[in-house]
């Protein structure tokens, strides 16, 4: 099917394992750069590792996971060329792709989601960017990375 890069910290070992299994069942090749133990690592380092790997090319999208998904998604969004969403449900996961054309999606390993994360991931994967009026908005978001007037 495609290639996915995924990284996680110690607060999201189980959710990363679930997502990897799900992706492999769907036929994706997964490059897991995260940890498999609860020994503490810093989520900004995990975000940087996965994002830099993604930017080399050859990946359809990336997944990041930490305890809440917040810190790792903020870290990813500091990297030029990365748009990372932290959806709270299936609808938000769909819109992350349809309206925002994100290339990374994040989840929290310590979050009790209303919708199963596998279904949220499926909604993201199975959606496509609408383009049109959203293209200009995405371009504006990306331009903020280098905007020094803020």
- pLDDT tens digits, 12-66: 999 999 999 999 999 999 999 999 999 999 999 999 999 999 999 999 999 999 9
Q: Where are the alpha helices (DSSP H) in the chain?
A: 13-25, 43-55, 70-76, 90-98, 117-125, 133-143
What are 63-94's pLDDT values in tens digits? 999 999 999 999 999 999 999 999 999 999 99
The active-site residue, picked from 51, 65, 66, 84, is 66
* Architecture of the domain whose range is 3-143: 3-Layer(aba) Sandwich (3.40)
Residue 99 designated active-site: yes
């Amino acid at each position: 099917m495609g290639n996915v890069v995924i990284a996680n910290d110690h607060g999201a070992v189980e959710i990363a394992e679930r997502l990897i299994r799900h992706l492999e069942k769907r036929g994706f090749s997964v490059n897991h750069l995260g940890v498999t133990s609860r020994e503490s690592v810093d989520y900004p380092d995990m975000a940087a590792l996965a994002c830099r790997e993604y930017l080399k090319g050859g990946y359809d999208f990336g997944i990041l996971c930490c305890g809440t998904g917040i810190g790792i998604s903020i870290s990813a969004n500091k990297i030029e060329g990365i748009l990372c969403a932290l959806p709270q449900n299936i609808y938000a996961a769909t819109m992350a792709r349809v309206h925002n054309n994100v290339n990374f999606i994040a989840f929290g390993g310590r979050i009790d989601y209303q919708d199963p994360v596998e279904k949220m991931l499926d909604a993201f994967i199975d959606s496509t960017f609408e383009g049109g009026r959203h293209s200009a908005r995405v371009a504006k978001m990306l331009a903020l990375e280098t905007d020094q007037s803020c």
